[in-house]
Structure 1
């Protein structure tokens, strides 16, 4: 590490810290070996240990360099694939548990905990067409439809073992592309010691989990999806980390990455530790990690997990269990500054990538630019829409008129942020049942309600996200230990749901009215949201060209409604672009024979109107004929 590196690392502005810290194969003079570097300012001694020296800390001591506590050494003769850790003596001279490398690019598969020498190895990318198209895409106006999945339980080999990254890509790329999704979103792939955490308690932030292969295998996974026209979004977890002895906790014998006071440094719900966002080196560690995935793995977006837990000092805490900020408030000012800087740096370095916040409160300006007082995220998950929609559709048909405001409430704030509408993994675990299982009624009603749910997802303003298994009406809750129930696709009603998702994605892509105005005030307006007696909603979606629109009608009851009149902006013939009651999707083919003509009868503030037959528990998508 040169003087400039040490200076930038010390002030927390080294954007490519991963090129200097960690283990890097290199040649010094004529001698090939590996250089090691680590931050441990309070350690008395630091050594590299591994399978190459019998894990003996006396063999390869490291040298302290610079004023900020960085250590480095070069060990001749080492090669990629060898195991290593750091041996540290704490500030009182006490021997600490052996520590894995915070910047390791590859980790031993659990239950092993060693780091593996790997380096930044070259990869021959074949995704140039995708990356060029990405540079020309405006994400906020694009048809963003995301398939969320957990790699370990999407599919498995016949013997129940994990598929590799390359095997997964060979199946997933054509599957998600055929269904019409634009992106896949992966539950965290960063190395983690505990399977049931689903990756949300990572310790190897710079290493794709070894459960499915090595770093080059994961690059091949991303490359294959890009070549199939699919973007890749990663769940990224800067909110907390587990306290396993080989990890970051008390790394040099002091609270280096985490706060010392448990009122600031420990998550009460998860039993994990909270990063000290006010420390420049910790900020540097996290921000350089975000850039690492965008740079080295061509990742298209980062969904930042548990943002609400970062923003509030009293998150899930009782009075007396938290420390107010310097102004006496509950906001975590250091975390706010970190998130703003994260987004500023990401968008400066990779302006064609995007960030998404999982933020569950009413914090203002999550997706507003930082120069306008916001946090700077590209998008925010609309958790309120998700909970209100599932609560409403979970009601029986007779009760829905009494809960009409639940389904319409999102319109009051839909343009406050740039939203992603998530039907995520969190909604199909821990006793919540699958999406199919949450729908009321007999089996045919459950299927019809599920079709309504997906139609509402694609009709509402905001980008779309669906967790795996929902696309074919998985009946049981998600279980991370087994693959999805793919055999359900052999049943016509489940295949109908599958076909509906494909057609909704196609419609979403083909019609700018369904995506261009997602993040604009005029992109979503009601025709009529007040017919609670009939549990009917009608709305308009508009493209950037206001003359390009689609009218959408929802009947949330099991009664067909003939002669239902809705006002529309222009006269002429309208085509039924999609009817969720089509027999092709498992419905009963109630509808309007595919087309209808307006009448000069004013309705809902429009001079023209359509006289519709609304199918039971169904949605109609209508637009003017060309």
Structure 2
């Protein structure tokens, strides 16, 4: 090689000065391998290195090491290798030598189809494409990083592996999709990282966590963490194969809602948080013993502020590090399935917090949110609203939903705050919102997003549930998308909850004047597939506990709780109870505390707990209580007009199964000789009496059951005469209902 040719190898291309100053938008034009006749030029930028060598392997002898020339004191090195020869970099740092492949020697990383599907919002495996992916490229193990930031001028990966120096690993922009990519060899699971971003004005933004990180540091730390791709060895095939039947409309769905941090604190540590392995040993057996079919976890996706209870989520793809690793969360789900429990996660696609390390103005522009505050700012929570009309944002959210259902075998998602998504004027005054293209208040983009979400779940995870927390009268929330609905499996019945809790909070003396609060929910009970929720929202913010809402002395409060739960479990609709309700907890729930387990020293609290356990059992074994929950044929009024006595009676029905008669006496006055018409003659066994002494009731009842007489009543040819206990609910079924 002649001298002139050799010297020309060290001429620096355009863009080099920008690279050295940390403002180069195309680092691959300067760094890595570049053809130069019979040799290739290699350039490496290693700020603060004391020396850099090229290591060139040879087939039959030891590799050759060639010193690279330092051509700029800021850390740019240049060397040559034979054309097409493989090479590694050997970098001398102050504390030793590092040998690695050159990140800038690798070609394009993401395929054109991935880019195309991403831009259209139709990529359904984003958790395996975007973010930090451990992989092998050409026999080299490392991590491929991919980040959507179309309006950034420059993006770099920073982390422990490059001492958080944004000059070291600038990324390549795939212009067609606005995605930046880089493969960094010889790093792997456990590495902490973020992205350093310059906006279009070349201003340095605060370091950003990865929106699609699969793991994070434990808050208040905010870095993303690389995850082992071999997540967990699942053995829940039996559950997954039978899940569709367990979650069908005809199944007994009884959900225990849990805030994982405050369910129970580690012994001796009131500020501690149980990790997934501890919850696996304690929470799962408890929920199984109580007879629930599912655990619903308040958001366990990563969130910076614990006081939001998880509802201000930033890491939509990462289980919170507060409770352990992703693999430990997977183990918890697997253990639930092996114990016969389903797992539902609260999931928040409506809004996100404005923390500087998060999604807000992610690449210097309003990428995930709206620019106009009338569309992009949520006045209730002071958070930012996702731009559902942007394909990439919609795809990002749907990708998160599918990841939890597929990667973690989660059985359902409860979508939070759906009402705030459906209406552009939600919690806004006149002039504070923008109408849709038709001049209306409906958020057409959010509606389409929800339909796309439910269509995608039905396609990729057909046995999973998506549940809407929707508090308005929006029609067709649980109607299929093909029929013009939103496509949810179930909707929380917020109206039922408000009306019936209000009724139960009234002095029994005045309940006769508020009969409609019990009746009204049954006028629309079959307009949707409903879940009846007594959720965390009903025991916070000064509302008090459920027990405290019951009027009267301590005995009447506990009797009211027992009656209300039995009423709820016999009412059409699936069931949800927030933790602590079954304990008759005296005090309002507080996320920084724990449930009042010591309160079970009170026999009346134990009686409520026993009642919940028993109604769950009966709900499961009596088909009439669950099989036709969502259709009018599963319910028939018997007595709905006895407002003077505050008595209600109805039948729960299921084809081919014995009926269940439900009789509610919502006053503390026992009512002997109370005649009720029934459809079947013979002996009707008392399956449940909430006033039983086993529940610390007064023991008034019917001595196990009653025989009918041929006296017509309430439209039936026969009837039975009952003793109605005070503040109590009875379940009766002919010949015991086969329970």
**TM-score scaled to structure 1, two decimals?**
0.99
Matches within 5 A, 1:128-207: 128-137=237-246, 139-158=248-267, 159-160=269-270, 161-207=272-318
Aligned equivalent of 2:629: 518
Matches within 5 A, 1:437-476: 437-476=548-587
**Deviation of the 1:490 alpha carbon:** 2.5
Aligned equivalent of 1:122: 231
Q: Partner of 1:622: helix, strand, or coil? A: strand
Q: Does 1:75 align with 2:172?
A: no
Matches within 5 A, 1:407-486: 407-486=518-597
Distance in 2 of aligned mates of 1:245 and 1:580: 53
Distance in 1 of aligned mates of 2:633 and 2:434: 43
Q: Does 1:85 align with 2:227?
A: no
Distance in 1 of aligned mates of 2:669 and 2:593: 39
Distance in 2 of aligned mates of 1:594 and 1:135: 37
Aligned equivalent of 1:595: 705
Aligned equivalent of 2:714: 604
* Contact 2:478/2:487, CA 8 A, preserved across alignment: yes
**Deviation of the 1:136 alpha carbon:** 3.9
* Contact 1:189/1:208, CA 8 A, preserved across alignment: yes
Distance in 2 of aligned mates of 1:218 and 1:180: 22
Q: Partner of 2:401: helix, strand, or coil? A: helix
**Deviation of the 1:491 alpha carbon:** 2.1
Q: Partner of 1:398: helix, strand, or coil? A: helix
Q: Does 1:102 align with 2:219?
A: no
**Deviation of the 1:85 alpha carbon:** 0.4
Aligned length: 625
1:509 to 620, 629, 654: 620
Query: Any stretches of 5+ residues in structure 2 without a counterpart?
Result: 1-109
Q: Partner of 2:162: helix, strand, or coil? A: coil
**Deviation of the 1:107 alpha carbon:** 0.6
Aligned equivalent of 2:489: 378
Aligned equivalent of 1:264: 375
Distance in 2 of aligned mates of 1:299 and 1:49: 32
Aligned equivalent of 1:297: 408
Distance in 1 of aligned mates of 2:388 and 2:732: 50
**Deviation of the 1:615 alpha carbon:** 0.2
Which segment drifts farther, 570-579 or 480-489?
Answer: 480-489
Distance in 1 of aligned mates of 2:463 and 2:582: 28
In the TM superposition, what whole-angstrom CA distance separates every residue of 1:531-581 from its partner, at most 9, and x where no partner exists? 000000001101133x63111000000100001011111111100000000
1:22 to 125, 128, 131: 131
Distance in 1 of aligned mates of 2:174 and 2:711: 81
Matches within 5 A, 1:560-599: 560-599=670-709
Distance in 1 of aligned mates of 2:282 and 2:291: 15
Matches within 5 A, 1:254-403: 254-403=365-514
Structure ranking higher on relative contact order (CA contacts 8 Å, 6+ apart): 1
* Contact 1:578/1:622, CA 8 A, preserved across alignment: yes
Q: Partner of 2:284: helix, strand, or coil? A: helix
Which structure: greater strand fraction? 2
CA RMSD of aligned residues (A): 0.9
Distance in 1 of aligned mates of 2:615 and 2:561: 13
Which segment drifts farther, 135-144 or 535-544?
Answer: 135-144
Q: Partner of 2:645: helix, strand, or coil? A: coil
**Deviation of the 1:407 alpha carbon:** 1.2
In the TM superposition, what whole-angstrom CA distance separates every residue of 1:592-614 from its partner, at most 9, and x where no partner exists? 10011111111111111111000
Distance in 1 of aligned mates of 2:534 and 2:505: 14
* Contact 2:257/2:577, CA 8 A, preserved across alignment: yes
* Contact 1:6/1:66, CA 8 A, preserved across alignment: no
Distance in 2 of aligned mates of 1:623 and 1:417: 27
Which segment drifts farther, 89-98 or 616-625?
Answer: 89-98
In the TM superposition, what whole-angstrom CA distance separates every residue of 1:236-270 from its partner, at most 9, and x where no partner exists? 00000000000001001000000100000010010
**Deviation of the 1:33 alpha carbon:** 1.3
